[in-house]
Structure 1
Amino acid sequence: MFKVNKLKNGLTLLLLKRKTMRSASVSFCVKSGSVHEENNIAGVSHFIEHTVFRKTKTRNIKEIKKPLEEVGGSLNAFTARNLTLFYSKVPSRNINIAIEILSDLTFNASLEKDDIEKEKKVILEEIAMYEDDPVDQIFENLFKNVYDENFGRPIIGYRDTVKNMDEKTLREHYSKNFIPANTIVSIVGNFDEEEVIRYLESMEINRDSKEPNKILSPNISKEEINVVKKKKDLSQNYLVYAYEAPPKYSKDYYATLVLNTMMGSGMSSLLFTNIREEAGLVYEVASDYNSYNDSGLFMIYAATSDENVEKYKEKIDEITKEIYKREDLEDWVNYGKQRLIGKMTIDIETNMAYGMKILDLYLTYGKIVNIDEIVKKIEEVSLEDVVRVSKGIFSNNKFVSELNPEK
């Protein structure tokens, strides 16, 4: 059972001891992401996430990575719209060094000029990589037009904002946002609970106590969107259809999860079966559901050739508009429920995935939600729930993002 601990220094701890494990995962989640930025510093959270790995006030680049990797562990990080997360997986006996290094990255980074200039080149290369990837492009074009300004900005930032990053910008954002009140530490695996709490409580973190950032949700366009771009050297047409969908706080959240799973998860899904295997119109087709506390977006993605693109569009429209009339819908709903529960059950076998899931639920509801509660809610989803949700979603405005070959 997860335990929640609020420490005097402002940190929140989520702890789950699993005695049968020989490893542990540690995550430091900071509620600071791209939505907590201004346009002129777009990408600063992501830039910080990169640069802290170069040097802290007590460790150089080698001393940050080697102590964990030489014992078989791992160290990584990512930036999202609402958060920046540093995480590690280590043998249980090495958990203290993982906590030390992750806390160092979170609160004690140097952010020096030379390191900033080096990382600037790396991030500009990363931007170039995304610009070459058609899948990244169609989703960025979608979000930029469907979400409000804060959520529509790319997490990585823009070329100009990245080029203009300097010590002052990074240090101001870091000292303001990378603070204990904004940080949740999640530890899952085999560890000494009292020792971990004692160590984290003893940490001296030189940060002013401020109100924590809020977990935000995007405002979604109230008008239909149709974004069509062209790109050289493409051999396929890339398409995303999106629709406003229930938020996490909605009673229809779990029915939407089931709808998403039955439609686009796995080679046995409805879209894969109907559009790829039966109609032969695509190589790849899938659905996704971006859910936030107060809003959501349901998406269908595919890539197809010039000769099949119009047939694909007709087929997608037919499926989405008529899905609630299908005679085999109950079978698909059962597939969605079973697959969703099964994947969750398998995922939580690993410490890291379990910790990430519980962290996501805690950020949403402000409390620990037991996985068994989630399974029960999925099991309770009825055929009527999915019919109602599908009618609602696919009658909403359709948002389209296309990237086509430039002739």
Structure 2
Amino acid sequence: MYSHKILDNGLDVILVKRDSMMSASVLFCVKTGSSKESEESAGLSHLIEHVSFRATKRKNTSEIKQPIEEVGGILNAFTSKNLTVFFAKIPSLKVNETLEILSEILYEPLFKEDDIEKEKGIILEEISSYEDEPINIVFENLYKNIYDENFSRPIMGYKDSIMNIKKATIEEFHNKYYQPENTVVIISGKFDEDSVLKQLNRIKSVTNLNSLKNKIASPSIVDKEIFIKKVKNDLASNYLVQGFKAPSKLDKAYYATLVLNTFLGSGMSSLLFSKIREEEGLAYEVTSDYETYPEAGLLLFYAATTEKNLENLLEKIQEVVENLKNNKEIEKWFNYGKNRLIGKLTLEVENNLSMALNILDLYVNYGKIITIEEFIKNIEKVEIHNVIETAKNIFSNNKYVSILSPNNQ
């Protein structure tokens, strides 16, 4: 089912054959992102992602997008702190043509001056929209105060940095990181293995002395209590994020933390939703999230509430935390978290794109293929005492709080 090959041109290829499917997903991942930028070039990776869809040496923007979209396919990309991922989901008959399109986007973009300027304008609008959203603001305020400078910058960058990025800077960064040796390709679904390998082998290695084969980086997280409260005009609600240092992706407690995070904030049957919204009526929206890197992790609570309920919400969250530390809640919620997590992963396996993204996440962090089946088995091994110990350790760490409130002056 899984086939892993390093090609002569340096491409790192994982093939997941699923002949019962009528579709396939193709994913090209370049191991670079916003953490590799400087303050002055913040947003560079995201800008490259945008401009690469404009034109290649042999295709204009219509010739890039239309062959995939006219058959009902999806073509898109995203940038993170460590990765830039270009992907497509297509009918099986379009796999080889999609490989051609994606490889040209990655390795042969034109970076025309007018295209760069157009995409700068689009990204400036995107930043404005992002900065209008209180959820984004409250998270960014937290990151600025707890992460090191390479991870605290927003992935989209700043308006000033975007405006000042030159074509030469784009080309230098692209030449440095956008190499086959720094790329992981994953194909999941129905395809002809010999045919796709032959096509991928035709991609030329353009390695130069300045190119890099990147490792996945991790943020440094401050070791002190953080409390930030900001205000914003035209808000009706208060927005709260509370975080704690948590096990890294490679930590033995990673799987126990996944179970903990799932029963805390996944679904309307979760602990936070049940206790804070259903029982107390303190928040319309409340959830949790678990951000992980190879050497760092962060468990986060998020909620939105009214001014009159904010103090009670903070107290209730603290009560939940104390109960978890003292093992007053975990036994009741353990099975929900474990069963829901396994069920969600089982359902995701039915989607080629979700499967490819899961495989990518595990592979770039662990440096080896971990199948979804193996991943589920690791979750099945988690026992309640693992989660009890993990919760006690996490909630004994420093507390990081970010609040965004209405400006009532």
Report 1:60-75 matches (<5 A).
60-75=60-75
Q: Matched residue of 1:307: which SS?
A: helix
Q: Secondary structure of 2:40's match?
A: helix
In 2, Cα distance between the equivalents of 1:109 and 1:269? 46
Q: Give the CA deviation at 1:358.
A: 0.7
**What letter is aligned with 1:111?**
F
1:129 aligned partner: 129
Contact 2:2 2:15 (C-alpha < 8 Å) held by counterparts: yes
Cα distance, 1:382 vs structure 2: 1.4
CA contact (8 A) 2:176 2:212 kept: no
Q: Matched residues in 2 for 1:314 and 1:362: separation?
A: 40
Gapped regions of structure 2 (runs ≥ 5): none
Q: Which whole-Å CA distance do the structure 2 matches of 1:371 and 1:138 have between them?
A: 33
Counterpart for residue 21 of structure 2: 21
Give 1:280's aligned residue.
281
1:346 and 2:347 aligned: yes
Aligned to 1:102: 102
How far off its partner does 1:324 sit?
4.2
Contact conserved, 1:77 with 1:85, CA < 8 A, in 2? yes
Q: Name the counterpart of 1:144.
A: 144
| Offset of residue 204 of structure 1 | 2.3
- State the Cα distance separating 1:385 from its structure 2 match: 1.0
Partner SS for 1:13? strand
Is 1:241 the counterpart of 2:242? The answer is yes
Aligned residues: 407
1:334 is matched with 335
- Write out per-residue CA displacement over residues 144-171 of structure 1, whole angstroms, 9 at most, x where no aligned residue: 1111110001100111110112211111
Structure 1 residues 243-282: aligned runs within 5 Å = 243-282=244-283
Q: Distance in 2 between matches of 1:135 and 1:327?
A: 31
Contact 2:177–2:212 at 8 Å: present in 1 too? no
Q: How far is 1:211 from its partner?
A: 3.8
Compute the displacement of 1:327 (Å).
Answer: 4.9
Corresponding position of 2:89: 89
Give the TM-score taking structure 1 as reference length. Answer: 0.98
Counterpart of 2:359? 358
The separation in 2 between residues aligned to 1:229 and 1:328, in whole angstroms, is: 32
Runs of 4+ in 1 over 6 A off after TM superposition: none
1:325 Cα shift?
3.8
Structure 2 partner of 1:223? 224
Q: 1:340 is paired with a residue of what secondary structure?
A: helix
For 2:330 and 2:217, the matched residues in 1 are separated by 35
RMSD between aligned residues:
1.0
Question: Identity of counterpart residues, as a percentage?
Answer: 52
Separation in structure 2 between the aligned mates of residue 258 and residue 274 of structure 1, nearest angstrom: 18
Q: Return the offset for 1:328.
A: 5.0
The answer as to whether partners of 2:325 and 2:395 remain within 8 angstroms in 1 is no
- Whether the aligned pair in 1 keeps the contact of 2:10 and 2:205 (CA below 8 Å) is no
Alignment correspondent of 2:6: 6
Q: Is the 8 A contact 1:113 1:166 kept in 2?
A: no
- CA drift of 1:72 comes to 1.3
Q: What are the equivalent positions in structure 2 for 1:294-305 lying under 5 Å apart?
A: 294-305=295-306
Shift of 1:205: 4.2
Tell me the amino acid that sits aligned with residue 383 of structure 1: I
Deviations 1:335-394 (A, max 9, x none): 000000000000111100001101111101111112222112111211111111111111
Alpha-carbon deviations, 1:178-230, whole Å to 9, x = none?
11111000000000001100111122243426440110000000111111110
Q: CA–CA distance in 1 between the matches of 2:228 and 2:325? A: 28
Please report how far the alpha carbon of residue 75 of structure 1 lies from its aligned counterpart in structure 2 after TM superposition. 0.2
Unaligned stretches of 5+ in structure 1? none
- 1:331 positional shift: 2.9
State the match for 1:32 in structure 2. 32
**Residue by residue, what CA displacement relative to the aligned partner does 1:124-156 show, whole Å, maximum 9, x if unpaired?**
000000110000011111111111110001100
Aligned to 1:159: 159
- Kindly provide the amino acid, as one letter, of the partner of residue 149 in structure 2: E
Partner of 2:195: 195
